[in-house]
Amino acid sequence: MDTHDHAEIDHELELERGRHAEIDHEQLDELRRGHGPIGEHVIDEFVAGRLTRRDFLRRASAVGIGLPIAGAIASACSSPTATGRGATKPARTTVSPAAKAGATIRAGMVVPAGEINPLTTDDQGGDETYEQVGEFLVFTDRYLNYKPWLATSWKPNADGTVWSFKIRQGVKFNDGKPMGVDDVVYSFKQQCDPKNGGNALSVFGGLLDPAGVVKVDDETVAFHLEAADGSFIDAVSEDNYNMIIVPDGYDFSDYQKQFVGTGHFMLKSFNPTVGATFVRNPYYWGTKALPSELQVTYYATEAAQTSALEAGDIDCNDGFSVSGSPQLLDGSYNIIATRQSEHRELSMRCDLHPFTSKYVRQAIAYTLDRPQIVKALFKGYAQIGNDSPFAPVFKSTVLPPAVPQRKQDLKKAKDLLAKGGVPRGFKTPFYTEINEEMPDYAQIIKSSAAKIGVDISLTIETTTKYYGDSVIGKSDWLDGEMSLVDYATRAVPNLYLEAPLQTIDAKTGQGAWNAARFNNSTYDKLSKQFVAAVDLSTQRKLAKEIELLLLDETPIIYGYFYNYLVATQKSCHGVMPGSGTSIYYWNCYLS
């Protein structure tokens, strides 16, 4: 599967580079006008053959070039006969003619880890629940393309420090009250204010503060950034999963009582440990949801959710692991597989002995047999990691051999322990959560480390216990000497580079998820330069430097990046994964 995917990408690159022999320069010059320096640079990158059609459409959408214009630019640069696998089809949002409205869809979800509050929720079950009623400014589809949602268009200034968004008119919340620019401004001011301790500070820390959220007029909001960000569009999409829009002045602590939002559904009933029922939102601004009712049942474990699917109690799950539910791959179910950047991060406390030594951290990394782990846990539905957050799916990633691939080497691992001052090994606690394959992976880490004399005391907790209050000092996730956590997929690596790795700054919220307590000024500088870069060549140059630095320092081990798998009954259609673990049911129907 991996070989085929890479071959397809390579083939597409060849097609794209070859097609530039026939360019309609007159049409291209007309189309490229008015898109600003950043937009024109993206167009130039495509014309020069440094971006495939697929990547051009993705990056064009990110800087506010609409799909019709981007498609016309691509056509102007294409040979009239260019066809085949290199051609990129736009993501379809239409519904099958066979689809019938009015079904009741029964969906399984992970039980939320705590109170559902868009300001503070940071777990899959909680996010998936409020995403059924809430909407974001921009939609990131499963192919990492950006599309209008509550914003109809967007555009950065010349250096990527100011981004302006046109807000959709005629939208109402599910209580019938109109949604406007004031609501957008309030939502973002609350989420980026360090005083509120919001989870979105993991994205906004050092990037956006409340003063930078400005109402331009009744249709426009502008974000004045503290630092240039060539990919800020991602921060207003569901990749930044807390950023649903709520009414001006709204008390986030009341969210669980009414689930206010502008989405396809509205709340009918809710039990925080049992599930929720949603019905169509009569005030929805667009095409109404196909299902008349969405019944969500919460499950504490993957095994329980899989059993419910097998028994016919639910029509679809919200994800499964190959290791935990291999039977779902036997052909009896519809499988939606998306290659993504979703991964696990094994952090080691760089401020606590013996992990203060990079050699000890490297030693743990060298104990892992990554190809075997991918084979055992994912049966090929994953890609090997190289101890940086640059997933193979990212175009900015510099792959081996340019950056050496770390491989299992037990002799070297033992030598590194000695070099780090613990030749006889050591004991350390290790925390993780009950989530898909993570307990199995944690056991592999424990047994692998034992081969070099490291005695790991493993604690596997419920998500509620593991995350705690999700702030440093009150969370096993963020405070454990060793901690294995899940990270949902993102369309760009920015958050991965910032929240878990940049030096902690409580005033700005920077490094809010730095469980490793990594503190490296060179890394901080490089990661900020990467985020600010608007062209792919600069991003790749910086990515290589970052990848090499993290291989040397190894504050976090990235063992693999895995595909997001969703299973549905053969009779259930229209389940739509977004970016990350976002999953939407408004186009669902039963055959």
Q: What's the pLDDT at 41?
A: 60
- Residue 359, phi then psi, degrees to nearest 5: -70, -35
- Convert the pLDDT of each residue in 242-270 to its tens digit: 999 999 999 999 999 989 999 999 999 99
Cα–chain center distance at 226 = 23
Q: What's the pLDDT at 2?
A: 37
CATH code where residue 331 lies:
3.40.190.10
Same domain membership, residue 482 and residue 362 = yes
Residue 308 has pLDDT above 90, yes or no: yes
Instruction: Report, as an integer, the average pLDDT of 30-52.
Output: 63
Q: What's the pLDDT at 203?
A: 87
Same domain membership, residue 543 and residue 411 = yes
Please check whether residue 118 lies inside any domain of the structure. no
Instruction: Report, as an integer, the average pLDDT of 174-185.
Output: 98
Contact 520, 504 (CB under 8 A): no
Kind of pairing between the strands at 454-461 and 426-433: parallel
- Convert the pLDDT of each residue in 388-432 to its tens digit: 999 998 889 999 999 999 999 999 999 999 999 999 999 999 999
pLDDT band at 582 (very low <50, low <70, confident <90, very high): confident
Q: What's the pLDDT at 321?
A: 86
Same domain membership, residue 253 and residue 187 = yes
Residue 9 has pLDDT above 70, yes or no: no
Q: What's the pLDDT at 324?
A: 86
Instruction: Report, as an integer, the average pLDDT of 337-351.
Output: 94
Residue 222 has pLDDT above 70, yes or no: yes
Q: What's the pLDDT at 395?
A: 84
Q: What's the pLDDT at 202?
A: 83
* Listed ranges 34-43, 66-75, 389-398; the one with the highest mean pLDDT: 389-398
Same domain membership, residue 540 and residue 409 = yes
**CB under 8 Å to 535, separation ≥6 — which residues?**
41, 42, 45, 230
Domain of residue 253 covers: 134-258
Q: What's the pLDDT at 22?
A: 53
Residue 220 has pLDDT above 80, yes or no: yes
Q: What's the pLDDT at 28?
A: 58
Instruction: Report, as an integer, the average pLDDT of 167-173.
Output: 98
328-356 CB burial, b ≥16 within 10 A, e <16: bbeeebeebebbbbbbbbbbbbbeeebbe
Q: What's the pLDDT at 5?
A: 34
Query: Average model confidence (pLDDT) for the chain?
Result: 88
User: What is the percentage of the chain residues whose pLDDT exceeds 70?
Assistant: 86
Same domain membership, residue 177 and residue 145 = yes
Q: What's the pLDDT at 490?
A: 84
Same domain membership, residue 232 and residue 198 = yes
Same domain membership, residue 382 and residue 280 = no
pLDDT band at 45 (very low <50, low <70, confident <90, very high): low
From 294, 258, 292, select the one nearest 173 (Cα to Cα). Answer: 258
Residue 3 has pLDDT above 90, yes or no: no
- Convert the pLDDT of each residue in 550-577 to its tens digit: 999 999 999 999 998 999 999 999 999 8
Please check whether residue 379 lies inside any domain of the structure. yes
- Convert the pLDDT of each residue in 441-495 to its tens digit: 999 999 999 999 999 999 999 999 999 999 999 999 999 999 999 998 888 899 8
Same domain membership, residue 459 and residue 372 = yes
Two tokens, residue 344:
């696990």
Please check whether residue 528 lies inside any domain of the structure. yes
Tracing tokens 């777990």 back to the chain, one arrives at 123
Query: Where does residue 174 rank: exposed (0-12), middle (13-18), buried (19+ CB within 10 A)?
Result: buried
- Convert the pLDDT of each residue in 487-536 to its tens digit: 988 888 998 999 999 999 988 888 999 999 999 999 999 999 999 887 78
Two tokens, residue 550:
């993290």
Give the residue from 235, 258, 281 where a domain finishes. 258
Give the residue from 258, 282, 298 where a domain finishes. 258
Q: What's the pLDDT at 422?
A: 98
Residue type at 98?
A
- Convert the pLDDT of each residue in 77-100 to its tens digit: 763 333 332 233 333 344 555 678
CATH code where residue 217 lies:
3.90.76.10
CATH code where residue 359 lies:
3.10.105.10
Same domain membership, residue 241 and residue 348 = no
From 275, 293, 338, select the one nearest 490 (Cα to Cα). Answer: 338
Tracing tokens 């696998």 back to the chain, one arrives at 85
Please check whether residue 83 lies inside any domain of the structure. no
pLDDT band at 166 (very low <50, low <70, confident <90, very high): very high
- Convert the pLDDT of each residue in 268-303 to its tens digit: 999 999 999 999 999 999 999 999 999 999 999 999
Residue 159 has pLDDT above 90, yes or no: no
From 78, 88, 14, 81, select the one nearest 54 (Cα to Cα). Answer: 88
Same domain membership, residue 403 and residue 371 = yes
3-state helix, strand, coil in the chain (%, to 5): 35, 20, 45
Domain total in the chain: 4
Please check whether residue 467 lies inside any domain of the structure. yes
Instruction: Report, as an integer, the average pLDDT of 141-147.
Output: 83
Please check whether residue 88 lies inside any domain of the structure. no
Same domain membership, residue 254 and residue 155 = yes
Mean pLDDT lowest among 18-22, 56-60, 320-324, 542-546: 18-22
Same domain membership, residue 573 and residue 542 = no
Tracing tokens 């620019």 back to the chain, one arrives at 181
Give the residue from 258, 284, 301 where a domain finishes. 258
Please check whether residue 462 lies inside any domain of the structure. yes
Please check whether residue 217 lies inside any domain of the structure. yes
Q: What's the pLDDT at 33?
A: 56
pLDDT band at 37 (very low <50, low <70, confident <90, very high): low
